Copies of this chain bind each other. A is one copy, B any other.
Amino acid sequence: MSTVDKALSLLSIFTADKPQWTVEAAAERLGVPASTAYRYFRSLTSAGLISDFSAGRYVIGPAIIELDRIARRTDPLIVAAQRPMDDLKLAAPKDNVILLSRLFRTCVMCVDQRTRGDHVMSLSFERGRPMPLFRSSVSKVILANLPSRTLSRIYDDERSAIATAGLGEDLYEFRAALREIRRAGFYISHGEVDKGVVGISAPVCSPDGDVFASISLVVPEGTMCADELRRSSQLVVKTASAISAALMGFAEPSNHNFSNVSSFGPESNFLED
């Protein structure tokens, strides 16, 4: 672990549960002396990744918000999914939520969302929130399509979590459960995350051809009959294909020039030093 890695690990202690840190507390948490922690804090602060809010209390910094905007506007997955998501939102029964998610570390994270209708469900899953790999349709369609090697490793590490999630009591059952999801090409969950909520998800491929993301249609339980459910599932699968296809276009160097940047001059902070 290099010095840079150690300094960056400071960033990961800023969580939703503990979003404010003093240098002293962080030093103890990271197991480094105070003087070293101060050095790390100074570096991250000057990069804007963290920010000192009133003497000694540090929080996540403005650079994160700036970078997030750039990601929203230029991330290949997010941009490629833009239109397909809007189409799905309109084609699906109203009062729905569309979620675009991707593999991140050993979780699946929502990276974009759309909402249609006035009686919107309140979902715990939302943009930026990680979701365990074994829970929800959002995750399962990705998990099911991971390389065989990866799955073995995951099974070894998470045997009990997998059993709890009902994904099998041994490696054979686990593989069988995932094979079924893979074969179907989509997965429907009922209340796995929020009560009274149905999720329909399908896998999205990177230009390299491996599944790393998913697109999901979320509706309140009981809004669809079996037939509608089947139609909607096909809709979600089609949307997933559309996104995968659009992603291909981004593999080439400068296929997109992102110059929908109109407005007040080129995107430069002209006071930046």
**Which residues in A have some Cβ–Cβ distance to B below 8 Å?**
2-5, 7-9, 11-12, 14-17, 19-20, 39-40, 43-44, 46-49, 53-55, 57, 59-60, 62-77, 102, 104-107, 109, 111, 124-133, 135, 157-158, 161, 193-194, 206-208, 250-251, 253, 258-259, 261-264, 266-273
Contact = CB atoms under 8 A, between A and B. Distances in A.
A45 to B, nearest CB: 11
Nearest to A18: B258
Contacts of A16: 69-70, 73-74, 258, 261, 267
Contact of A12 (B17, B47, B59, B161): B47
Nearest to A130: B269
Contacts of A125: 264
Given A7-B4, A16-B261, A104-B62, A128 B69 contact: yes
A43 B5 contact: yes
Given A49-B8, A66-B130, A262 B124 contact: yes
Contact of A272 (B11, B107, B126, B263): B107
| Residue among A71, A102, A157, A161 having the largest count of chain B Cβ atoms under 10 Å | A71
A132 to B, nearest CB: 6
A53 B66 contact: no
Contact of A132 (B39, B161, B193, B269): B269
B75 A60 contact: yes
Contacts of A194: 263-264
Given A70-B14, A74-B16, A132 B5 contact: no
B76 A267 contact: no
B65 A109 contact: yes
Given A69-B129, A107-B272, 7 more contacts: A11-B47, A15-B267, A17-B261, A17-B267, A59-B76, A69-B127, A107-B271
24 contacts: A5-B46, A11-B67, A12-B47, A15-B70, A16-B74, A16-B258, A16-B261, A17-B267, A17-B268, A48-B104, A53-B77, A53-B206, A54-B208, A54-B251, A55-B208, A60-B70, A60-B71, A60-B74, A63-B104, A65-B68, A68-B128, A69-B128, A70-B128, A161-B270
Contacts of A47: 5, 8-9, 11-12
B53 A76 contact: yes
